[in-house]
Amino acid sequence: MDIPWNSYGKLDEAEQARLEARRRARKRIIIITISSIVLVGIIVGAVLGATTRSGDNSSSSSSNAGAPPTVPDTLRAACKLTLYPDSCYTSLYSMVNSSTIDPQTLAKLSVQVAMTELSQASDHVSQLKSNGQLDQMSAAALQDCVSLMDLAMDHLNDTLNSSNMTALPQLDDLRTWLSTAGTSLHTCLDGLQYASPSVQAQVAQYTQNSTQFISNSLALVTAISNLADSIKMRRLMSVDEDGLPDWMNAADRKLLQKSGSNIKPDLIVARDGSSKYKSINAALTAVPSQSNKRTVIYVKKGVYYEKVIVPANKWNVMMIGDGKAFTVVSGKLNVVDGTPTYSSASFVSYSAASGASAALYDSYEAIGCVYLCVFVCLCLFSLGGLPGFIL
């Protein structure tokens, strides 16, 4: 019997974890079994529909109606699900055969093509960045593009390394990674707004193919996901009655719902020097790398003028403050000061009143929760509002 979330406090945490693991294992077995049957029919169904329609318009439709679909027909039908069917077809045609036309292989091949193209685009942008004749804004924007392309490549790697790209339990992750990879490239182009026109044109040309191939990969995975939704085979990520995401475990729920005075921090930050760390970034360097244990950082009241970056290897970090109006982070960065929009975020997680554009919060972690926090004006971000921020 499933245990409701609102009774988690009455169970031993280890027992709760065992019950959750057992329930998820049962669901996984059922879902994967069904998905292996249904997903194979996605492309086959699309192809049969396409060949039937084309047969209706052909004088030899009666003789071709029972003919099996060819590899080109199957690939073309699958590529019609994308925004760029022509680039999808031409990029994959030489790589597929009758034994590699299944949904998982098509998705993997599409991601591989995107990675190859993105790697070449990144090399071109890096070479362009090395040009000593660039103005400051163009050079800074290109540096952001290189960083964003690296992030996009990481997300494509995550997608490609997925054990089963058509397993329904992983579809949300796959869509998130591919969508984020595409967003990274669009953010690169958006950040070139104040770069020279020639730089804008060159980067747009370099990234055109990789942008399309990432979009194609996302479309193929989304088609599978939409089918799963239509037959209610998959439960989307949701929140409970407390407004907390379902993936959050019992221990973290307890931690979020405690008052600040009842939370024992591992690290304390105080701008006035009353604690070991005077800056948030200094405290983050003390967080163990790739730790499975939650590290709680308490940031005392004050305005912290720093660009806070939580590195990708700092796992399970929680930050709490003294309140929405008392613990504040401000990077004070914007385009007028020569900082591209992407680099102006005051708080970046990878795991000025002038009216210039500025970003507030940039997140690249797979799952995270911002709880009782406020985004203020152009470049202020409040960490407070007990208990705070979980990565």
pLDDT at 199: 94
The DSSP 8-state label assigned to residue 168 in this structure reads G
Residue 308 lies in a domain: yes
pLDDT at 9 over 50: no
Q: Which of 161, 195, 230 is the last residue of a domain?
A: 230
Q: Residue 82 belongs to what H/E stretch?
A: none
Residue 223 lies in a domain: yes
Whether residues 182 and 263 share a domain: the answer is no
Whether residues 322 and 351 share a domain: the answer is yes
pLDDT, average across residues 251-261: 71
pLDDT at 53: 47
Which amino acid makes up residue 176?
Answer: T
Residue 137 lies in a domain: yes
Whether residues 192 and 160 share a domain: the answer is yes
**CA distances in angstroms from 15 to 18, 74, 178, 183, listed in the order given:** 5, 49, 36, 40
Q: Which of 230, 265, 300 is the last residue of a domain?
A: 230
Residue 73, Cβ neighbours under 10 Å: how many?
18
270 within 8 A of 277, measured Cβ to Cβ: yes
Helices (H), the chain: 13-38, 40-56, 61-64, 71-79, 85-92, 103-129, 136-160, 171-190, 197-230, 250-257, 280-285
With tokens 């163990």, the residue in question is: 288
Residue 29 lies in a domain: no
Whether residues 172 and 288 share a domain: the answer is no
pLDDT at 2: 44
DSSP for 36-67, written as a single string: HHHTHHHHHHHHHHHHHHHHHTSTTHHHHTTS
Q: Which of 230, 265, 298 is the last residue of a domain?
A: 230
Whether residues 274 and 161 share a domain: the answer is no
pLDDT at 217 over 90: yes
Whether residues 312 and 165 share a domain: the answer is no
**pLDDT confidence band for 367 (50 / 70 / 90):** low
Residue 181, Cβ neighbours under 10 Å: how many?
30
Describe the chain by its helix, strand, coil percentages, rounded to 5.
55, 10, 35
Whether residues 153 and 290 share a domain: the answer is no
**Beta pairing, strands 327-330 & 380-382:** antiparallel
Residue 30 lies in a domain: no
Whether residues 89 and 192 share a domain: the answer is yes
3-state secondary structure of 113: helix
pLDDT, average across residues 117-129: 95
pLDDT at 348 over 80: no
129 within 8 A of 143, measured Cβ to Cβ: yes
> Which residues does 345 contact at the CB level (< 8 Å), separation at least 6?
307, 331, 333, 358, 359, 360, 361, 362
Lowest mean pLDDT among 165-179, 250-264, 285-299: 250-264
**pLDDT confidence band for 206 (50 / 70 / 90):** very high
CA gap 279, 92 in Å, rounded: 50
Number of domains in the chain: 2
Whether residues 204 and 103 share a domain: the answer is yes
189 within 8 A of 204, measured Cβ to Cβ: yes
For residue 295 the two structure tokens come to: 């590290």
Residue 309 belongs to domain with CATH number: 2.160.20.10
pLDDT at 359 over 50: no
Prediction pTM value: 0.62
CA gap 372, 302 in Å, rounded: 17
325 within 8 A of 377, measured Cβ to Cβ: no
* Domain around 84: 43-230
Whether residues 129 and 265 share a domain: the answer is no
CA gap 210, 185 in Å, rounded: 9
Residue 13 lies in a domain: no
Q: Would you put residue 68 in left (φ > 0), alpha (ψ -120 to 50) or beta?
A: beta
Maximum Cα interatomic distance, the chain, rounded to a whole number of Å: 87
Residue 312 lies in a domain: yes
77 within 8 A of 53, measured Cβ to Cβ: no
46-99 pLDDT, tens digit per residue, is 544 544 444 444 444 444 444 455 778 888 888 999 999 999 999 999 998 877
CA gap 178, 195 in Å, rounded: 27
pLDDT, average across residues 308-321: 82
Whether residues 120 and 218 share a domain: the answer is yes
CA dihedral 38, 236, 311, 204 (to 10 degrees): 70
Return the closest-CA partner of residue 268 out of 324, 192, 322, 314: 322
pLDDT at 193: 86
DSSP for 22-33, written as a single string: HHHHHHHHHHHH
pLDDT at 204 over 90: yes
Residue 78 lies in a domain: yes
**pLDDT confidence band for 254 (50 / 70 / 90):** confident
pLDDT, average across residues 287-312: 86
Q: Name which residue leads in pLDDT, 379 or 195.
A: 195
Residue 222 belongs to domain with CATH number: 1.20.140.40
Q: Helices 103-129 and 40-56 sit at what angle, rounded to 10 degrees?
A: 100
**CA distances in angstroms from 210 to 121, 178, 186, 200, 334, listed in the order given:** 8, 12, 11, 16, 29
**pLDDT confidence band for 346 (50 / 70 / 90):** low
Whether residues 142 and 258 share a domain: the answer is no
Lowest mean pLDDT among 79-93, 140-154, 302-316: 302-316
